[in-house]
Amino acid sequence: MHYCRKKLENKPGIQFPESLVAQIVNMTERFSFADMKEAFMNTLFLIAAGQDRSDGRGTEGLFERVIIEQLENLRRSIVLGI
């Protein structure tokens, strides 16, 4: 997790606050590396495509909002066996 945070911290528009690290760790218990990669890549693709800026909240906290949503969706898929 530290590696991902380090890689993202200097990218404009992507904030990876320390508080998000613990939240992601708690949300991803028993996730595989592939699950984690899927969530992070989906998040970055959505941000790059600008699809998650239409909610009117702008870019402040965008990465945090999108990664949490992606992790929640992935958790549901895992639980449902999809």
Mean pLDDT on 49-61: 64
- Higher pLDDT, residue 43 or 59: 43
Distance CA 16, CA 21 (A): 8
The span from the CA of 7 to the CA of 30, in Å, is: 23
* Percent of the chain surpassing pLDDT 90: 35
* Ranges of H-type helices in the chain: 2-8, 18-27, 33-49, 62-80
pLDDT greater than 80 at residue 23: yes
The per-residue pLDDT for 19 is 86
Cβ contact 46:39 at 8 Å:
no
Q: Could you identify the residue written with the tokens 């990876």?
A: 16
60, 31, 25, 75 alpha-carbon torsion, rounded to 10° = 50
